[in-house]
Amino acid sequence: MRTPSAAGTSQLPAGGLFSGTVDHAFALKPAVRAANKALGDVIAARLFWGGDTRVMTEEHTEPATEESFAALLDAYSVKKGAEARIGDRVKGRIVSIGKDAVFVDTGRKIDAVVERAELLDAEGNLTVNEGDELELYVAAVGENEIRLSRAVSGAGGAQALREAYQKKAPVEGKVKEPCKGGFVVDVMQRRAFCPISQIDLAPVNDPAAHVGATYQFLITRFEDKGRNIVVSRRSLLNRELEVLKKQFMESLKVGDVLDGKVTRLMPFGAFVSLSPGVEGMVHVSEISWSRTALPEEVLKPGDRVRVKVLGIDPGAGEKPPKIGL
């Protein structure tokens, strides 16, 4: 998508479909590609041939005016190329993956790009492929490029923070130091407060372990023109966890054999973690081939076990799903 446009006059290869000169050739932007498709699945380029502007398609070559082509582009832009603003959540399709950046077609006239490093997993493996659809946030808008990110960051000022708050867009922040009841967090060069209960999903036993870490946060309070900012990492983690839980439950079926970890024991059975945020229960009668009176006679929290799914109750409304193992 970032191929520079050719300028001047260049010779078409001999023996090709056409012979002669091309006055202008250009690398098609996302919106141009879409407009070409609307004109007849255009796959080549516009040719200025003998003073007659033509559009070359797979099936035929037909005259087209500069006005009709520009009008179609403008119409397409009005429909899908609305102005991008910092904090906007946008959907797009990956069209190219480079060494350091991933290029995304969002239906706008200018390129959208996200740093490749943001799309790596904990082991450093790329988690996406060309053609995949992504949902990201606008972190910066330039004359020739839209910068996308999983979170809004940088020195955007109070206005950018206010928009992130209103749109519930994640922002990047660095934990500076512990304070009474929580942490001081630097967000876009502004001082914010994160309650200790909102820094993680699990209870915090060692606050110092979070100092210096850079996380993504949601702004839960924005007051006094940015002088009173409260953020939560837990809210964002919960949101991401719900997505993972939904994906796991949609793929789960009776008869599946899974590896899990014992999280707690009760007189009637053992609870086993199957996926982030998803637990199943092994009834005491299913824990061992031999009859046992108590689960702790066979298992303890932290044990790794292999289990088989015996039943699934998907739940409804506020009722959580239940998985029998």
Give pLDDT tens digits for 229-254: 999 999 889 988 888 888 899 999 99
Choice among 77-91, 170-184, 262-276 with the minimum mean pLDDT: 77-91
pLDDT for the residue numbered 292: 61
CB 188 within 8 A of CB 87: no
Single residue among 211, 238, 265 that ends a domain in this structure: 238
Give pLDDT tens digits for 90-130: 888 999 998 888 999 988 888 889 888 888 877 788 888 99
Contacts of 5 (CB under 8 A, 6+ apart): 25, 26, 27
Q: What is the mean pLDDT of residues 166-189?
A: 91
Domain-located, residue 247: no
**Based on the structure, what is the number of domains in the chain?**
4
- Rounded CA separation 45/19 (Å): 14
Single residue among 213, 238, 263 that ends a domain in this structure: 238
Domain-located, residue 286: yes
Read off the CATH number of the domain in which 185 is found. Answer: 2.40.50.140
72 & 118 share domain? no
Single residue among 149, 183, 198 that ends a domain in this structure: 149
Burial of 323 (0-12, 13-18, 19+ CB in 10 A): buried
Domain-located, residue 164: no
pTM for the model: 0.53
CB 186 within 8 A of CB 192: yes
23 & 56 share domain? yes
177 & 128 share domain? no
Domain-located, residue 179: yes
Confidence of residue 153 (pLDDT cuts 50, 70, 90): low
Give pLDDT tens digits for 37-72: 444 443 333 433 344 444 444 444 445 444 454 454
CB 107 within 8 A of CB 31: yes
For 181, the domain range is 169-238
Q: Given the structure tokens 């023109």, which residue do they identify?
A: 225
